[in-house]
Amino acid sequence: MKALVLLSSLGVISLLAEIFSFKKLLYPLVLIGLITTFVLNIFDWDTNELYFNMMRYDNYAVAFTSVILVIAFLWFLMSESFFKEETSQADHFALVLFALVGAVIMVSYTNMTMLFLGIEILSISMYVLAGSKKDDVASNEAAFKYLIMGSFATGFLLFGVALIYGSTGSFDLMEIRTFISSHQGTVPAIFYAGVLLMLIGLAFKVSAAPFHFWAPDVYQGAPTVITAIMATIVKTAAFAAFLRLFSTTFAEVSSTWVNILWVMAALTLLVGNITAVLQTNTKRMLAYSSVAHAGYMLLALLAGNQYSNSAILFYTAAYSIGSIGTFCILNIVSTAKGNINTDAFKGLGKSNPFLAFVMTVALLSLAGIPPTAGFFAKYYIFTAAFQAGYAGLVLIAIIASLVGVYYYFKIIIAMYFKEGKGEVIEVQTNHKLLLALVALLILALGLFPDYLIGLL
């Protein structure tokens, strides 16, 4: 709860910055604010506070909030120039902070209305941010597509909520659960329809196939820094929300959705990985890889056992940190070279060994090679799914991750093998700091995963 209050206040303060003209101070203020929020958020551990039956700050919420805050901090380190170059900077700060507020609500809700509010607060901020390059056609297109598809998904979600409310008479997760267990066999059919509609709505949000079509276009069109938020914070929050709903409230009716989710997971893994191979545009490739990663996380969702929560927590952390690193380097390289294809990375190993090294670590992590965090994340999810008896799906996931190696290594090969023009790219200090942190976190999480998975 402290996190929510602090983040909202930070957002409001950012809006005031334009009026009282302390814009220059805003960047350090937000960074300090995020650190403070992170620290205070830790104090919520084990308090298990419940707010008006709307939100519960259980350890699940605190853990996911912490992950989101860490990623947000890294993201701000990456995007200083985004705020400098564009007009109406203060609004951008506020929008990102409000998106974080939405994300925090999504990981802590206990009431369907809060789920809806969280998703909307997050999404509306993101729609605007996707279009923040006003004179860029692609950015406008991305914003528009994102808005239309996002609203569509929200429609499904809301319709599902309505049907569930209609059949159980409550928005509250616990009450719905009690209703299901006390009405074994007599739950009305529209309840199941509601569950499926919510499943579709959330699948849209996490960009699971076959509801992933918006993602590549939006990811590609939006400014790279905004894509980085979508791929990391939005995905983390959406999965946390997804899991919170389906692992507790709808767990009892799992027979209605497991088969659908099974197919979705398999499709997402295959479509994401195979399509990513075909991309030459690195940003689009990363978009498909992000779809593919949703597939792995669906495995943990499907497993629905004692490992699921920590598996998703670890996976989102590992994946987000790796993604922030790759997006940051992609942004640096594509701005310097004016080219966003794999070719832009040619010769980076020689001209900027540090960038190439961090990129390699991040890509190895995304590909799931030991001893990086990504390997352990995948391993943990596969174990969870294996224990739940989804050996077939694990096999598909293993094959899919082999395909994944192919497209991640394309960049590594380009960096080290191909000769480029060899101009040294200037890297800002905060980017250096961010990238060093990313490499460090990836290795630390890979070598000592117990500290994170032991939490939940």
Dist. CA 228–CA 360, nearest whole Å: 18
Pick 40 or 413: Cβ nearer other proteins: 413
Q: How far apart are CA 362 and CA 321, in angstroms?
A: 8
Q: How far is the CB of 444 from other proteins (least distance, A)?
A: 13
| DSSP run (H or E) holding 50 | strand 49-51
Q: What is the CA radius of gyration of the chain?
A: 21
Whose Cβ is closer to other proteins: residue 89's or residue 352's? 352
Task: Write down the least CB distance from residue 355 to other proteins, Å.
Answer: 15
- Options 28, 185, 338, 454; binder of other proteins; rule CB under 8 A: 454
Binding of residue 314 to other proteins (CB under 8 A): no
Quote the least distance from Cβ 400 to other proteins, whole Å: 11
Report d(CA 390, CA 265) in Å as an integer: 11
- CA-based nearest residue to 18, from 121, 116, 87: 87
Shortest CB 448 distance to other proteins, Å: 8
Distance of closest approach, residue 416 Cβ to other proteins, in angstroms: 6
Contact, 27 vs 80, CB < 8 A? Answer: yes
Region of residue 58 (phi > 0: left; psi between -120 and 50: alpha; otherwise: beta) = beta
How many residues bind other proteins (CB under 8 A)? The answer is: 30
Measured between its terminal Cα atoms, the distance across the chain in Å is 19
CA distance 281 to 112: 39
Binding of residue 165 to other proteins (CB under 8 A): no
The answer to whether 33 touches 93, Cβ cutoff 8 Å, is: no
Cβ-based nearer residue to other proteins, 126 or 381: 381
Nearer to other proteins, 370 or 422 (CB): 370
**Among residues 106 and 311, whose Cβ is nearest to other proteins?**
311
Give just the sign of the alpha carbon dihedral 358, 360, 361, 367: positive
CB of 299 to other proteins, least distance (A): 14
Measured from the CB of residue 280, what is the shortest distance to other proteins in angstroms? 17
| 292 belongs to the binding site for other proteins (CB under 8 A) | no
Kindly tell me which of 127 and 345 has the beta carbon lying closer to other proteins: 345
Residue 160 or 347 with smaller CB distance to other proteins: 347
CB closer to other proteins, 206 vs 361? 361
Interface mask toward other proteins for 364-383; x: CB under 8 A = x----xxx---xx--xx-xx
Token digits of residue 281:
């545009």
Which range touches other proteins (CB under 8 A), out of 75-83, 222-230, 293-301, 395-403? Answer: 395-403
Nearer to other proteins, 10 or 456 (CB): 456
Min CB(387)–other proteins separation in Å? 7
Residue from 432, 446, 206 nearest 318 by CA = 446
Interface mask (CB under 8 A) for other proteins, residues 396-425, using x and -? --x--xx--xx--x---x--xxx-------
Q: How far is the CB of 252 from other proteins (least distance, A)?
A: 26
- Are 291 and 376 spatial neighbours (Cβ–Cβ below 8 Å)? no
Burial class of residue 25 in the structure, from the number of CB atoms within 10 Å of its CB (0-12 exposed, 13-18 middle, 19+ buried)? exposed
DSSP string, 114-164: HHHHHHHHHHHHHHHHHT-STT-HHHHHHHHHHHHHHHHHHHHHHHHHHHH
- Report if residue 394 touches other proteins, rule: CB under 8 A: yes
Q: State the SS3 of 304-350.
A: CCCCHHHHHHHHHHHHHHHHHHHHHHHHHHHHHHCCCEHHHHCCHHH
Residue placing its CB nearer to other proteins in the complex, 200 or 393: 393
Which residues from 18-37 bind other proteins, rule CB under 8 A?
none
386 makes contact with other proteins (CB under 8 A): yes
The residues binding other proteins (CB under 8 A) are: 310, 349, 364, 369-371, 375-376, 379-380, 382-383, 386-387, 394-395, 398, 401-402, 405-406, 409, 413, 416-418, 449-450, 453-454
